[in-house]
Structure 1
Amino acid sequence: MLACLFSQNGHAQNPKVYITEKIGEHYAYVNVTKTYERVAEKGYKSIDLFQKLGNSFFADMNMEKAAKWYGELFTLTYDLDAVYYNQYAKALFAIGDSEKANYILEKLKLKSKTTNTK
């Protein structure tokens, strides 16, 4: 069932809650963010998983958890769109980690210079 959660797009109004299967005349609903978080806490690591967790908590303004999951994302790769650098930096600033936020923004500047010179 988890494989389905990672690969399917939900059609419910709340993007964090998907209809997962029909049980009789009722549907079972799952809070996908909580499911992703449990999976990650059990040791599963992927770029996609950490992007989804970071984005979800960032959208909910839970900057502490957003910073945690974006931090995990950046341990896997720096080859990311600028939006992830910016959101990670904003989350870090929000929780008072200005030094790390500035470091991430410097990484983005270097990445932008490298990309523009190619």
Structure 2
Amino acid sequence: MSGNLLHVNATVTCPHGARATILPAQTRVVVSGNVAGSVADLYTVSGCPFTVANVPHPCVTIRWVAPSTRIRINGSPAVLRSSTGLCLAADQAPQGPPNVSVVQQRAVGR
């Protein structure tokens, strides 16, 4: 499964529409002028409106479960647009897959 590499300015949202921000674990590997994303990075979600039985249960983080199988960034697998992830609540309950809508278009990996 191939796809474009994610970077810190990629548009990633939770299934409920809240935007994720990426805090990179490294700053040496750059694609299209932005730091490339890997599973070592911290992907946080803020402003998720999801509720269960009128109790807020927002997405707060993203964990990538199927990243790149071939590309490593400082030893950690790179995250691709086609990578599979899970948005998680504070209690680690899975909330659904993240949506990746905008990434750089030059570097492609597997």
Name the TM tier (shorter chain): under 0.3
Structure with the greater alpha carbon radius of gyration = 1
State TM-score, norm by structure 2. 0.25
State TM-score, norm by structure 1. 0.24
Structure (1 or 2) with the greater strand fraction:
2
